[in-house]
């Protein structure tokens, strides 16, 4: 998993730059059996949260955005 996430982020960054939206901050990927939330945490780290289909995505997205600076500080 850790080897695949940077490729996803690179593709998302390319889309962001091509469409003049900037760098990716957070991506939500829906799978058949759940979700993957990928967020940048600092300049050199990524956070990937895997959930089941019943997860409260609104709360998870809120918490990831709210805590990513604190997570970056401890890495």
- Token pair of 6 as six digits: 């940077």
pLDDT for residue 18 = 97
pLDDT for residue 43 = 86
pLDDT digits (tens, 9 = 90+) for 24-69: 999 999 999 999 999 999 888 999 999 999 999 999 999 999 999 9
CA distances from 12 to 17, 32, 46, 72 (A): 9, 21, 13, 20
Of all helices (H) and strands (E), which one includes residue 5?
helix 5-18
DSSP symbols for 31-74 = ETTEEEEEEE-SSS-EEEEEE-TT--HHHHHHHHHHHHHHHHHH
pLDDT for residue 38 = 97
Hey, how many other C-beta atoms are within 10 angstroms of the C-beta on 69?
Answer: 10
């Amino acid at each position: 998993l850790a080897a695949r996430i940077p490729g996803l982020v690179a593709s998302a960054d390319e889309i962001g730059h091509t469409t003049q939206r900037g760098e990716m901050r957070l991506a939500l990927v829906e799978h058949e059996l759940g979700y993957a939330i990928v967020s940048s945490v600092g300049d050199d780290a990524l956070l990937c949260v895997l959930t089941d289909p019943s997860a409260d995505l609104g709360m998870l997205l809120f918490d990831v955005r709210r805590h990513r600076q604190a997570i970056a500080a401890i890495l």
